[in-house]
Amino acid sequence: MTIRHVVSWKLATGDATERAEHAARIKRGLESLPAVIPQLRSLQVGIGVVPGDDYDVVLISDFDSLDDIQLYQEHPAHLEVAGFIRSVVASRAAVDFEV
């Protein structure tokens, strides 16, 4: 079984330049995680290209189990990236499902 973990974020800033900088930093941070978190099987990060969409950044990642998602979420490298994300987002939506 594979569990797909999808998270979308709406950035808090209304400034286009700052929004682009925050989105790029989120993307870089998340894309660094597969190298240090073995439970993370695959990862894609996208930055929205249409101004005014409901969300600005999306993460799509795959894990072998719900336990592996928990290990990923508790990993120090993930916690560091998540800390920055929480500091710059207005809202978040997430779903985990079997594929």
The three-class DSSP label of residue 69 is helix
Q: Where are the domains of the chain?
A: 3-98
Helix or strand or coil: residue 61? strand
33: CB partners within 8 A, 6+ apart: 40, 43, 72, 75, 77, 78, 81
pTM of the model: 0.95
Q: Is residue 1 scored above 90 in pLDDT?
A: no
Could you report the per-residue pLDDT of 55-97, keeping only the tens digit for each? 999 999 999 999 999 999 999 999 999 999 999 999 999 999 9
Residue 33 above 90 pLDDT? yes
| Mean pLDDT, range 13-29, rounded to an integer | 96
**pLDDT by residue (tens digit) across 42-63?**
999 999 999 889 999 999 999 9
Tokens of 34: 């597969």
Q: Domain 3-98 - what CATH class?
A: alpha beta
